[in-house]
Amino acid sequence: MRIIQDYTIMKLSTKGRYGTRLMLDLALRYQQGPILLKDISSRQEVSEKYLWQLISLLKNAGLVISTRGAHGGYEIARAPKQITLKEIVLTLEGPLGLVECVGETTLCAHANLCTTREIWKEISEKILEILSSFTLADMVKKHEEKICSFDYQI
């Protein structure tokens, strides 16, 4: 963690960040047919080898489907409005919590009596709540708004 001004940065791993970008890339091309991983790699500037690892996790979780053959590739498994950011992040990162004892009380002898654990648990639950509130459709909309608002003044 780094402290910038008054903020402590909690970071998602590259799996979470790049996997979310991969899913957004697929969502932007929803219903356009299978997308090649090499094309996503090029657009997202992430190695194809790394994307293979992520796509495997996403496919196993039922978030992505693959098609083999000459016109094969990858697509999201459901409509963008049906896939939440929480599903994507938990698939790629595993359980989320500010501290380990939030999800596993046996890790600390003080967990059941710890006041701060309850606060960390509440914050962790809010993070999951926020992740649940965003869908790929929301992300597509935000992306399109950014692209449309880009000003080409010379």
Pairing of strands 64-67, 73-76: antiparallel
How many of the other CB atoms lie within 10 Å of CB of 140? 17
Average pLDDT score over residue span 8-22: 85
Q: What is the pLDDT of residues 100-152, one digit of tens each?
A: 777 777 777 877 888 888 898 899 899 999 999 999 999 999 999 888 876 55
Q: What is the pLDDT of residues 19-57, one digit of tens each?
A: 999 999 999 999 999 999 999 999 999 999 999 999 999
Q: Which of 64-73, 85-94, 109-118 has the lowest mean pLDDT?
A: 109-118
Average pLDDT score over residue span 85-92: 96
- pLDDT at residue 88 tops 70: yes
CA distances from 115 to 121, 134, 150 (A): 10, 30, 47
pLDDT at 151 (0 to 100): 58
pLDDT at 150 (0 to 100): 65
Higher pLDDT, 154 or 94: 94
Q: Which residue segments constitute the domains of the chain, with CATH numbers given?
A: 2-149 (1.10.10.10)
